[in-house]
Amino acid sequence: EDVLHTPQEDVLLNNICQTIVNTMGYPLMWIGYARDDKEKTVQPVAKAGLNTDYVDNLTVTWDDTELGQGPTGRAIRTGKTCFSANIPADANFKPWQHSALEHGFHSSVAIPLQEDSKVVGTLNIYSAIKEGFAPEEITVLEDLADDIIFGIHAISQIEKRIKAEEALQKAHDTL
């Protein structure tokens, strides 16, 4: 597919989410960016699946408060893949537990997106079954996280080049 030839980051990320949901059969996937604001919020930037309204009503942080103890917050803080293998029994998932179960989610995984040595966000994937992620699936998803960072970086470089060319053309026209 042309997923990696998308000129805009948001389109690229939403296409990746949709492709993963379609090919791997997960009910929900979203990508969140770790913001360096006071609250250390996680901002959803892309999503796909049947229950995306779950993401619309989600409050997640990557600080050390209750809202930062789920897989997403832990993955951002540690730089390691983090799970909730059994959402109904996971005390760290308490802030989102009721909504997750209403939407049919019983396990989740958060895979860090790392640029250089800094975690910039996470891939967040949900399963309708407990312990819904096999080790080989995780390996594929971790490789995908690396590919996503490469794609984001490539788009950023293209956008910088376009802006530089526009500035050069404007300077040329001025002369």
Question: Looking at residue 71, what DSSP letter applies?
Answer: H
Query: Token pair 């408060």 is at which residue?
Result: 65
The pTM for the full model equals 0.80
Q: From first to last of the 175 residues of the chain, give the pLDDT tens digit.
A: 444 444 577 888 888 899 889 988 999 999 999 999 999 999 999 999 988 999 998 999 999 999 999 999 999 999 999 999 999 999 999 999 999 999 999 999 999 998 888 899 999 999 999 998 988 888 888 888 777 776 666 666 666 676 777 777 887 788 7
CB atoms within 10 A of CB 63: 16
Find the largest Cα–Cα distance for the chain: 68
